[in-house]
Structures are given as structure tokens and as C-alpha cells.
Amino acid sequence: MKEIRIHGRGGQGSLVLAQFIAIAALEDGKYGQAFPFLGGGGERRGKPIMAFCRLSDQPIRLRSRVSEPDYVIVQDVTILNELDVAEGVKDTGMILVNTEKEAASLGLEGPFHVFSFSGDKLARETLGRPIINTAILGAFAAISKELSLAAALSAVRKKFSGELGEKNAQVVQESYKRLMRELS
């Protein structure tokens, strides 16, 4: 089983990102589970929130919060000033931060890998809004190999129909391609 913890701010689509990954898991023939942890007063725009996701070849019974993630996704780099996003990350784990800064300059030190990637420009150009969860989804698929591009695209189209779904699918495809190029 692989466990993912997503840090973001209320309104950035962190939970939706977790949901995309869980929906994509089904497309890939796996089990997926996605759930929010809003703590401290429920849904509020701008407040740091967490969303969790689990992927497994077996049905997922565990329902506790993800405390030792294989992957951490940080949608908003300013959260690094507020909490330790590396808490509990497995030695073999990976942290993906949405920022234009270099990964090495983020002050995240440990045995895990740190990647930085900025989805802001791509999201603004294609969607007209800085909602970067679909850009991150493409990047995560490329870096982690935990979900296929086809499954990620299908998850986005399943959740958003019509033009919105198509535009977001385009963002996923672009960010996936970009990361694959950078990684090769």
C-alpha cells in the first residue's frame, strides 16, 4: 500500500486532487481511498488543510490519518513556514512542492527525495485560474509512477464534464509531458 499526504490551503483543490488519485486507481485496476482532514473548525478558505490518499492492490480497510506517507504533496509553498511537511515521511519517500524555487533551496532535509514543480503558469494559461491541482496530478503521475497518465486523464474527465474537464485534462497531459522530459 502507498500512502499520500497532501498539504494545501482551503480552496486550492487539495481534496479534489486526492479524489482524482483515488478515482484513477480504479482505472488502473487498484483500490483507492481519499479523505480530508479539516481539523480546527472545518472548511475555511485559505486555512492549511490536509487530504489523504491510499493506493493498494487489496481493498483498503485502514481509516486512520496518514502519518508515515510514501508521498507528500505541497500545493502551497508558504505552508512550509507554518508546519513540518516532512513529518513522518518514509526514508524512501518523496516530497513534491509546487514552487518555482529549486528543490534544494526549500530547506527540506532528510533521506527522502524532494522535487519542485510549478503548475501556476500552466494553470493560469490553460484554465485562466491559478488552480494547480490538475497540474500537480500530471506531475505526480510522472514522478511517482503510481498512476498511469491514461487513468489520471480519465479521472479528471469523470469528475469534470465538458470543457472544464477537457481543459483540465490538457493541463494534466502538459505537466506530465514536462516532467517526463525533465526526468529523462
What is the Cα–Cα distance from 103 to 96, expressed in whole angstroms? 9
- Pure H helices in the chain: 14-27, 120-127, 133-144, 149-159, 162-183
**Which run of H or of E encompasses 34?**
strand 31-37
Does the protein bind other proteins through residue 65 (CB under 8 A)? yes
Contact 111, 91 (CB under 8 A): yes
* Contacting range for other proteins; rule: CB under 8 A; set: 5-13, 23-31, 117-125, 130-138: 23-31
CB nearer other proteins, residue 64 or residue 92: 64
Q: Which of 60, 79, 127, 149 binds other proteins (CB under 8 A)?
A: 60
CB nearer other proteins, residue 31 or residue 126: 31
CB nearer other proteins, residue 62 or residue 104: 62
Maximum CA extent, the chain: 44
Q: Which of 12, 14, 33, 175 binds other proteins (CB under 8 A)?
A: 33
CA dihedral over 16, 30, 89, 137, signed as positive or negative = negative
Does the protein bind other proteins through residue 19 (CB under 8 A)? yes
Residue ranges in contact with other proteins by CB under 8 A: 18-19, 22-23, 25-26, 31-36, 42, 59-65, 67
